[in-house]
Amino acid sequence: FAYLGQRYNGLEYHANNNTRYPTIEEEMWKAFDKAKLIFPTPNPDLKEGEPNWEGCEYSKAGRTDKGVSAFGQVIGIRVRSNRPVDKQATEEGANNTNGATEQDNSERLSDSEPVPPRQGAFHPFKDEIPYPQILNRLLPPEIRVLAWCPSPPPDFSARFSCEERCYKYFFTQPAFTPTVGPESLLSAKGDHNRQREGWLNIEAMNEAAKKFEGSHDFRNFCKVDPSKQIDNFRRVINKAEIVEVPGKEKGVLGYLDLADFQQYQQSPPAKESNSHNHVIEPTVQQNPKTYAFKVRGSGFLWHQVRHMVAILFLIGQGLEAPSLINDLLNTSKHPEKPTYDMADPFPLVLEECNFPSSKMQWVHLGDYTGYEAGVRKAGGKGNGKHGLGGAVDELWRVWHRHKIDETLAGSLLDLVARSNREAIADNQPEGDEVERSKSVRNVESQKVYQGGDAPRLVGKYIPILQRPRMESVDTINAKYLKRKGLDPPERNRGAAE
């Protein structure tokens, strides 16, 4: 299933943790419970209506934090089924945890059609309850169930059976609106090729991202949770890269292609003339573009991706060199993590959770209607993908609302940025004044981009390796045990998340 996480307090529900926004698990549990698809073991310690997965063999592939989205999240859960129950198994109560018969369960299905009479052999897809369609009718539009697997392996765990997870962190180029004037020109790349503040050096970021690949100790790229007592921070990154997100529409922020805002200070390209002496304007690239840091690995530490992205942004801004990745991965030389802020959560997406394809056969929305021909489809809303009430229809509404917001805000921004450009040009310093403005910049507050809507002013920038260090992992873990009065656990723990 997929969800847009900006309005949710992460995936996991924690009892007695009152937050402004609900969690994804709360919404999922309410849908499963209302549809009477699960029958959890009663827990007297939980309040009425509180999520309870006990007895449901519940597992999840990846935990996402507050504001983080997912396009390929996977959970494992035991649900009610139309599948005929073996008579002997029924007598033994193997598939009837709470004493409800198959007929009882069928009658308890909320907001769905009666189970049709079966003719011939039971079809595992067509005769089964249309789970995605039913759940999507009960879930908020930002959460959509996309597929289900009817016959996972007997020992299936969404967490431990997952072979690879893929994350994407989206950002724009430029990262924030470029600052005009010579004081905004950063790294020198020749007399007429100095990068303007607000733009990112994508090539340098990609060079740095490649250094993450392989097996490394990522203790300097995560947040330590002492309650887990993890001392093994080695993880395997299969692939890490900066990729451009394809765009099919002309952007509305045309002002970014004007000379005052372009990425590098350079001599304006000469205008060409064709055989008819018509002046040909130099071609400019449509901006802004959208990129993503894409990373694949078997497992990740707490906040690992957001720490990796934060360092990449510093490199893209020219504040750090790509070699910083090598330094931070060298934990024998740098065993204690320097203090730095991780990137914002909202642009992060758990894109995929991959399982052995030979063992998992997925039934996607649109593959089957849920019931055979001749029986009215669930809710009369098609196959759950297209048509009224389908996932595509609901997600179009979500997208359209945000697209109109983007167009209106972008048009206004472009209008304001383009206005009175002559006054901007007249106020540009020249000669010695340019050199003075460069030196003034050294004492001004540095803008640092962290993935949010605007950069953060940090004062005079201090390089990462010159910053104060946090306590070592061993010290953090030992202090936690002492505070809790606990004995040290067995070592070499390092559960992936």
| Tens-place pLDDT, residues 135-144 | 999 999 999 9
One-letter identity of residue 317: Q
One-letter identity of residue 482: K
Q: Assess contact for 166 and 354: CB atoms under 8 A.
A: yes
The per-residue pLDDT for 119 is: 61
Cα dist from 364 to 163, 367, 383, whole Å = 21, 6, 10
Is 65 annotated as catalytic? yes
Distance CA 48, CA 406 (A): 41
Distance CA 419, CA 424 (A): 9
Residue 77 clears pLDDT 90, i.e. is over it:
yes
Among 369, 360, 331, which residue's Cα sits nearest to residue 128?
369
Mean pLDDT over the full length of the chain: 81
Residue partners of 296: CB distance under 8 A and separation at least 6: 164, 165, 166, 237, 238, 239, 240
Within 10 A of 298 (CB to CB), how many other CB atoms are there? 14
Task: Let me know how many helices (H) and strands (E) the chain has, helices first.
Answer: 11, 18
The per-residue pLDDT for 378 is: 42
Whether the full predicted model's pTM is greater than 0.85, yes or no, is: no
Q: Assess contact for 366 and 385: CB atoms under 8 A.
A: yes
Q: Among residues of the chain, what percentage have pLDDT more than 90?
A: 52
pLDDT tens across 263-313, in order? 776 544 444 444 444 443 444 456 789 999 999 999 999 999 999 999 999
The per-residue pLDDT for 424 is: 55
- According to DSSP, the residues that pair with 348 across neighbouring strands are 169
For the CA atoms of the chain, what is the radius of gyration?
A: 28
The per-residue pLDDT for 101 is: 39
Q: Which of 65, 260, 367, 414 is catalytic?
A: 65
Structure letter (DSSP) for residue 320: S
In terms of pLDDT, which residue wins out, 22 or 179? 22
The per-residue pLDDT for 457 is: 92
Within 10 A of 457 (CB to CB), how many other CB atoms are there? 10
Strands in 276-398 per DSSP E: 279-280, 289-297, 348-354, 363-364
Q: Is the peptide bond before 84 cis (omega within 30 degrees of 0)?
A: no
| 3 state DSSP class of 382 | coil
Distance CA 357, CA 161 (A): 11
Alpha-carbon torsion (440, 445, 449, 454), positive or negative: negative
- According to DSSP, the residues that pair with 199 across neighbouring strands are 197
Residue 163 backbone dihedrals phi, psi, to 5 degrees: -90, -30
CA–centroid distance for 387 within its chain: 28
The per-residue pLDDT for 249 is: 52
Distance CA 62, CA 300 (A): 9
Q: Classify strands 348-354 and 69-70 as parallel, antiparallel or unpaired.
A: parallel
Distance CA 333, CA 385 (A): 53
Within 10 A of 145 (CB to CB), how many other CB atoms are there? 22
pLDDT tens across 467-480, in order? 999 999 999 999 98
The per-residue pLDDT for 417 is: 85
Residue 482 backbone dihedrals phi, psi, to 5 degrees: -65, -40
Among 41, 13, 16, which residue's Cα sits nearest to residue 27?
13
The per-residue pLDDT for 282 is: 40
Following DSSP, what letter does each residue of 88-152 receive, concatenated?
A: HHHHHTTT-TTS--HHHHHHT-TTSPPPPPP-SSPPTTTTS--HHHHHHHHS-TTEE--EE-SS-
The per-residue pLDDT for 110 is: 44
Following DSSP, what letter does each residue of 156-216 receive, concatenated?
A: --TTTS--EEEEEEEEEESSSPPPPSGGGB-S--STT-EEBBTB--HHHHHHHHHTT-EEE
The per-residue pLDDT for 14 is: 87
In terms of pLDDT, which residue wins out, 298 or 374? 298
Q: Assess contact for 159 and 413: CB atoms under 8 A.
A: no
pLDDT tens across 177-217, in order? 887 777 677 654 444 457 888 999 999 999 999 999 999 99
| 3 state DSSP class of 10 | coil
Following DSSP, what letter does each residue of 348-380 receive, concatenated?
A: EEEEEEE--TTT---EEBTTB-SS-TTSPPGGG
| 3 state DSSP class of 42 | coil
